[in-house]
Amino acid sequence: MVTEKLYLGEKTEQSINTAAEIIKNGGVVAMPTETVYGLAASAFCDSAIKKVFTAKGRPQDNPLIVHIADINELTVIAKDISEKALMCAKKFWPGPFTMVVNKTNKVCESVSCGLNTVAVRMPNNQTAINLIKACGLPLAAPSANSSGSPSPTTAQHVINDLDGKIDAVLMGERCEVGVESTVVSFCGENPVLLRPGAVTFEQLKEIVPNITVDPAVFKSPEANQKVLSPGMKYKHYSPLCQLVLVEGGSEDFCRYVNQKGGFAVCFNEDTEHLTGEYQVYGKNENDSSLAYSLFHVLRELDEKGIKEGYVHAPQKNGVGLAVYNRLIRACAYRVVKL
C-alpha cells in the first residue's frame, strides 16, 4: 500500500488518467459517485480486490458492486439477464440502482465472495464514468469508508477513514444523493429489494409489480436466517454516538426527547418544540433532504463529541425507506415507537 498522499482534482483529464493508471496497475482509488464515494479497483484483478477488503477492514463474505460506464458492458460481467432486469437498467441507469444478476467467469471470485451472482450499477457521476472509461475495465467499488462506519459523502470523509491505506483519492463534490444505491436481486422467481435507495420501491413497482421486500430491510436479520444480501447482516453506518430511533409525530417526538433531556437529531419542523440541543438532518416532507444529510450528520455527531442522542424516524416510503433502513442499523436496532 502506498504511504505517500495522492489527492487528485476530479475535473482534469490528467487526474483521471493518473487514477486510471493506478487502477490498471492493480491499485485502489477512491472516486466520487452520486450516492456516496466508492473505493474502486479492477473487477478483473484479484489482488486489487483483496486490497479493497483490507483497506476497509471489510468482512470477507460481503461482496462488492461492479460499476460500468455503458450498458453494453453488462454482458461481459453478467449473463442470463432477465427482461425485467434489463427494463430496470434502461429506466434507472445511469443512477442509484444496482441489480444482482448471474455473473460470468470474467469477474473475480473475490468480488462476489464465491457467489455465482454479481451486483452491477452505472453511476450518474461524470467523474466516475470518465474513470471507468479511462480504465477500460468494470470497477468494483464498495463505499469508501472503514467497514461499519457511516458511508462517506465527501472526499474529506474518505481521507478521514482511509488515508494511508489506499493509493489515491479522486477529489469531487459532496455526493448529491447521500445514501447508497438501491439494490434489487433478479436471481429468484420474483425481484427482491435487498437495500432501499433513491430509486424507490414505488418506482420499481411500476416496472416490476411483483417485486417484494427482503425482511432484512426493516429489521435485524435473525440468527441463522439465510441472508440474500450479505451486507445487511453486519454492523453498519454506526457513529460512536449511541443513538435511539424514535418513531412518531413531531409533538410526540419532541415531548419524549424533552422529557429524556437528550440530544435530538431531528427534522426542521421539530426545532420550535425542542427545549434541549439538537441537530437538524432535513425536512420531514422532503425525504431526499434527509438522505442528503444523513451520513454527514452521523459523522458530525462524533466530531462534536455527542455521546447519546434520539433520532426522529422518517416515513417508511419513498426515499424515506432508505433513510429508515440506514438509521435502524446506525441505532443498532434500538427503536422506540411512540
- The residues that touch ligand TXA, with contacts defined as CB under 6 A, are 33, 35-36, 38, 62-65, 96, 98, 100, 112, 115, 117-119, 123, 141-143, 180-181, 183, 194-195, 229-231
- 98 contributes a contact to Mg ion by CB under 5 A: no
Q: 219 or 235: whose CB is closer to Mg ion?
A: 235
Beta carbon of residue 62, minimum distance to Mg ion (angstroms, whole number) = 8
26: partner contacted, choices ligand TXA, Mg ion, none (Cβ within 5-8 A by kind): none
CA distance 176 to 291: 9
Q: 119 or 134: whose CB is closer to ligand TXA?
A: 119
36: partner contacted, choices Mg ion, ligand TXA, none (Cβ within 5-8 A by kind): ligand TXA
125: partner contacted, choices Mg ion, ligand TXA, none (Cβ within 5-8 A by kind): none
Q: Identify the residue whose cell numbers are 440502482.
A: 97
Site for Mg ion (CB under 5 A): how many residues?
A: 1
- 143 contributes a contact to Mg ion by CB under 5 A: yes
Q: 181 or 284: whose CB is closer to ligand TXA?
A: 181
Beta carbon of residue 291, minimum distance to ligand TXA (angstroms, whole number) = 11
C-alpha cell at 115: 457467489
Long-range interactions of 232-236: CB distance < 8 A, separation 24+? 232/194, 232/195, 234/59, 234/62, 234/147, 234/148, 235/148, 235/329, 235/332, 236/148, 236/326, 236/329, 236/330
Tell me which amino acid residue 52 is.
V
CA distance 19 to 170: 7
Candidates 40-48, 141-149, 199-207, 302-310; binding stretch for Mg ion (CB under 5 A): 141-149
Which residue's Cβ lies closest to ligand TXA? 231
Beta carbon of residue 193, minimum distance to ligand TXA (angstroms, whole number) = 11
* HEC profile of 275-308: CCCEEEEECCCCHHHHHHHHHHHHHHHHHCCCCE
138: partner contacted, choices Mg ion, ligand TXA, none (Cβ within 5-8 A by kind): none
CA distance 158 to 142: 12
Q: Identify the residue whose cell numbers are 409525530.
A: 249
Contact between 56 and 118 under an 8 Å Cβ cutoff? The reply is no
Under the rule (CB under 5 A), what is the footprint of Mg ion? 143
